[in-house]
Amino acid sequence: MNDKSGGRLRPREEWPPAPRIAADLCATSPLPTCVLWGEEHLVAVYNKGFAQALALSQPSYGQPVRDLWPTAWPDLGPTLTRVLRYGEAATLDSLTSEGGAASFQAICTPLRDHGTARGVHLTLWKTTQEVANHQSPAAISGPDQRELLLLRQAMQEAPAAIAVLRGPQHRVELANAAYQAMAPDIDVVGQTVAQLFPETIEQGFGQLLDHARAGHPVTVTDAPIMLRRSAKGPPRQRFFTYTFSPMCDADEQGAGVLVTAHETTEGVQSRHRAEQLAAEVEAERTRLRQVIEVSPEAIALADTTGQIVLSNAAARAIWGQDNPVADATGYQETFGACRMNGAPYPSEELPLARSILHCEVVTNERLYIRNRTTGMMIPVLVNSAPLFNSTGETSGGVVIFQDISAELEMGRAREEAHHAATARAAELEAVLSGMAEPAIVYNGDWQVTLANRAAHDLFRWEEPVEGLHVSELVEQVRADLGPDSAHLAHIARSADQLANSGEALEMRFVHPPRVMIRRSSTMYDPATGAAVAHIALFQDVTAERVAAQEKDDFLSVASHELKTPLTSLRGMAQVAQRRLSRGETERTLESLRVVLEQATRLGDLIDDLLDVSRIQAGHLPLERVPLDLGALVYSAVERHQATTERHQITARVVQPRPVTITGDAGRLAQVLDNLLSNAVKYSPQGGEIQVTCSCVDSSAVVRVRDQGIGIDPAGHGLLFERFYRAHNASVNNFAGLGVGLWISRQIVERHAGQLWLDVTDASGSTFAFRLPLAQPGSQAGDQ
């Protein structure tokens, strides 16, 4: 209203509503009145009475009241400052007019601009008798006048919009600041309602005002009205509590309506919001209850006394009844709870009680609850937490629990299955540990839990290997394995794969030479499907492999052996034929002798093979008769000496003679022939061959000693195996099928005797056999 620079007042049209209305009042007031504005209390408006009271001789608008009324200033100044500062009305009892002729009382009412007190409406009335006499006869007497003044000021200050509407157009005659604020863009006084608030007419307010003006008061509470906040703004829904009171007048035209209106938009809206919120909360609560009700987990809410205030179907199913009545000291009784080990549960230690009484959050506690219907104890997993209200106080507790019978049952079954599997594994270990075959048992992680004695022997482990991983074992045995052992890395790399495939793995050991087959299987925990044990069994297949190899060797040797005499036989026969055709009788006979010799050799070889198959089939008939072993020895020596000139074959039969045994003379001669022919064959340089026959205890022992090539120690153990030929007697240098010693041993053993390699070294070999001496008077016969 006053510009900031010079403290000058602006034109009246630019004033805020409050000082403008005050200015109107000022003009019509019979009392000395003025409007002061700003902190300087500039006189904006004053009436005649005020000019007289201050003896103003010339227009004084825009002057500070301090300058115009210096005598009153000591009292007036602080009062005006207070009114502006605190925004409250104040009265002053005694102010002296300028010149001291009269004294006044004053009412100072704050005038607001946008809620802040910026000006003062100052009204005076004289307190001297003289004053009353000066009042016009129509003026209101002292107390009435003061009352009216107060009323007007109260109206002005009232938060409700108040207006007096006159005439059929409902023209505003008087309006307070709040009413003016409803149409801030125009000066409401003198305007009709239709001009001020055209949007209200179509909402029926014209008729309503007409109705009131006709003498029917209207009172409406929180009524919705579409009303603009400013002339340009859109109409918005606002709420008002209003009264239209008829103001009757003698003159019908002058009748009016006293309007009081109090905007309740905020209250109504916040009430609406609150109601809406409450409805939403209720809907949410309903939804929550529904969700809780159908939740598979048992849920219950209790108040601070422990009383269950909400429970869902799952909870009631476990309890076996509707909400149990519980309190903080009676949970045990109510729920019939006990610990997993069957011990009673002190009531104050139950999860819900702890949450309510001690604000404790309890998680995953296991306990039993008694079902009231069946009486059965149901194992449950319980979680509980305290509930708090908006002020942070405990308002109860929530408990969530679930029936874990099935889980416990499953756990028990799993445990049993696991025990059974472990027990089976232990049994198996016991069996395997005593087994002659090498066996290694690993746990599910491929760590050794058992390696039996045979496995230790096989792998030449001196320390226990239990606890080692399969890959470490492979490392340990790698040195003993042949160059083709790279495949074993596979065991370490994909042991699981190997176990599951059930694949047999061949392991070739070089030190000592052996061939083992490793087979593995896995035991599973039936409950979890996890492997509990892997078992590896080793089978020594060296003998089979050797036999197979020997068989192969034999076939090549046999074909070679058979072919050699046959070739020479054919060749000699052709030579004999040619010689005969040329009439060379002598030379033909010589050729025929060689033919005969080769045919005999061929026959011997075939006999040997036939013997092998006879012995294998168990058909080696013996014609057992008492005979003199010494005679057999002499005769054999004689036969063999006749075939060689490079060897001196001697026989010595120790007394007493005859050395009588019971046996098949032909087969025993075959044994002697075999030993002697080997002695000749494996002494390519010639030398002495000694045959001795002696009696030791009740046995006759024959020894054949040569000065030949000796026998490689590596082959000692295999000499008497079928088809075995020592490496130092290779097929190229010495003919033979590798069956002679085997057949000889079979024959001797069938005579209840033994055949063995007695001595062998660089100077030759000695083979010996022993036969039981015939008991005097014993009978001989076929076997």
CB of 431 to ligand ADP, least distance (A): 41
Residue pair 598/565 in contact by the 8 Å Cβ criterion: yes
- 711 binding ligand ADP? (CB under 6 A): yes
Nearest residue to the partner ligand ADP, using Cβ: 736
Query: Among the candidate windows 88-96, 316-324, 525-533, 725-733, which touches ligand ADP by CB under 6 A?
Result: 725-733
Alpha-carbon separation of residue 469 from 424, 443, 447, 763 (angstroms): 22, 10, 4, 52
Query: Among the candidate windows 446-454, 493-501, 629-637, 704-712, which touches ligand ADP by CB under 6 A?
Result: 704-712
- 332 three-state secondary structure: helix
CB of 748 to ligand ADP, least distance (A): 13
Among 535, 679, 691, 755, binds ligand ADP (CB under 6 A): 679
Residue pair 570/591 in contact by the 8 Å Cβ criterion: no
Alpha-carbon separation of residue 109 from 21, 82, 133 (angstroms): 13, 11, 27
- 554 binding ligand ADP? (CB under 6 A): no
- 192 binding ligand ADP? (CB under 6 A): no
- 726 binding ligand ADP? (CB under 6 A): yes
For ligand ADP, the closer CB: 26 or 709: 709
Among 118, 514, 534, 725, binds ligand ADP (CB under 6 A): 725
- 615 binding ligand ADP? (CB under 6 A): no
Query: Among the candidate windows 184-192, 530-538, 619-627, 678-686, which touches ligand ADP by CB under 6 A?
Result: 678-686
- 739 binding ligand ADP? (CB under 6 A): yes
Binding to ligand ADP, residues 762-781 (CB under 6 A) = 765
Burial per residue of 248-274, b for 16 or more beta-carbon CB atoms within 10 angstroms, e otherwise: eeeeeeebbbbbbbbbbbeebeeeeee
Query: Among the candidate windows 31-39, 528-536, 674-682, 747-755, which touches ligand ADP by CB under 6 A?
Result: 674-682
- 741 binding ligand ADP? (CB under 6 A): yes
Query: Among the candidate windows 9-17, 73-81, 614-622, 724-732, which touches ligand ADP by CB under 6 A?
Result: 724-732
Query: Among the candidate windows 14-22, 472-480, 684-692, 731-739, which touches ligand ADP by CB under 6 A?
Result: 731-739
Closest-CA residue to 66 (of 34, 43, 96): 43
For ligand ADP, the closer CB: 407 or 712: 712
CB of 741 to ligand ADP, least distance (A): 3
Query: Among the candidate windows 100-108, 351-359, 689-697, 738-746, which touches ligand ADP by CB under 6 A?
Result: 738-746
For ligand ADP, the closer CB: 336 or 708: 708
- 569 binding ligand ADP? (CB under 6 A): no
Burial per residue of 720-737, b for 16 or more beta-carbon CB atoms within 10 angstroms, e otherwise: bbbbbbbeebeeeeeebb
Cis peptide before 658 (omega within 30 of 0): yes
- What is the SS3 assignment for 219-238? EEEEEEEEECCCCCCCCEEE
The 8-class DSSP code of residue 163 comes to E
- 709 binding ligand ADP? (CB under 6 A): yes
CB of 665 to ligand ADP, least distance (A): 21
CB of 632 to ligand ADP, least distance (A): 19
Number of residues that bind ligand ADP (CB under 6 A): 20
CB of 572 to ligand ADP, least distance (A): 23
CA distance 54 to 536: 127
CB of 736 to ligand ADP, least distance (A): 2
Instruction: Give the distance, in angstroms, between the CA of residue 352 and the centroid of all CA atoms in the same chain.
Output: 29
Give the phi and the psi of residue 446 in degrees, each rounded to 5: 65, 35
Q: Which amino acid is at 321?
A: Q
For ligand ADP, the closer CB: 665 or 676: 676
CA distance 710 to 486: 38
Residue pair 386/394 in contact by the 8 Å Cβ criterion: yes
H-helix or E-strand spanning residue 379? strand 377-388
Q: Which amino acid is at 485?
A: S
- 413 three-state secondary structure: helix
Residue pair 226/123 in contact by the 8 Å Cβ criterion: no
Burial per residue of 407-419, b for 16 or more beta-carbon CB atoms within 10 angstroms, e otherwise: eeeeeeeeeeebe
Among 196, 537, 651, 719, binds ligand ADP (CB under 6 A): 719
Among 682, 701, 751, 755, binds ligand ADP (CB under 6 A): 682
Among 243, 264, 678, 707, binds ligand ADP (CB under 6 A): 678
- 755 binding ligand ADP? (CB under 6 A): no
Residue pair 690/652 in contact by the 8 Å Cβ criterion: yes
Among 97, 332, 347, 674, binds ligand ADP (CB under 6 A): 674
CA distance 138 to 457: 143
For ligand ADP, the closer CB: 57 or 732: 732
Interface residues toward ligand ADP, by CB under 6 A: 674, 678-679, 682, 706, 708-709, 711, 719, 725-726, 729, 736-742, 765
